[in-house]
Amino acid sequence: MKRSWMVLLALGIALPVGAQSVAPFRANDPFVFCTQGYELTWAEMCWVPLPPYTGSTWMYTGLCDPPNYYGRSWTGRDWLALSLYESVCPLAITPGVWTGPGDGSQAPIPH
């Protein structure tokens, strides 16, 4: 088990019960959530996670208002996902890499 997974597992245990059950993004899989974001399609996302080497943790997609004045409004789900991403994902220190087939979002079930 990689160190980053152990940290994320520990975070899942350490979070209050309410915080664990508020938003079951990506079937509660922190690896997929932290590397791919909170939706299955990029066209629905207001923000996307960035690789750690960029120096930033996430960026706007430009599909939502803000920053796009004509985009759709951010929903509570969008803000909740971003809040969880900013509070949980940076604590992994160094992200692990997926070594199985595909990108990780299909194992053991699609999520």
Place of tokens 């120096």: 55
Q: E strands within the chain? A: 47-49, 58-60, 64-65, 72-73
Query: Hey, CA dihedral for 68, 70, 72, 75, is it positive or negative?
Result: positive
In a domain, 99, yes or no: no
What residues pair up with 72 in beta bridges, in sequence order?
Answer: 64
In a domain, 66, yes or no: yes
Specify the pTM. Answer: 0.68
Domain that holds residue 67: 3-16+27-92
pLDDT of 51 > 70? The answer is yes
The pLDDT score that the predictor gives to residue 90 is 78
Number of domains in the chain: 1
In a domain, 105, yes or no: no
Higher pLDDT, 92 or 17: 92
In a domain, 108, yes or no: no
Burial 20-41 (b: 16+ CB within 10 A, else e): eeebebbeebbbbbbbbbbbee
Q: State pLDDT tens for residues 13-43.
A: 444 443 443 457 888 888 888 888 888 777 8
Mean pLDDT over residues 96-103, rounded?
72
The pLDDT score that the predictor gives to residue 42 is 76
In a domain, 59, yes or no: yes
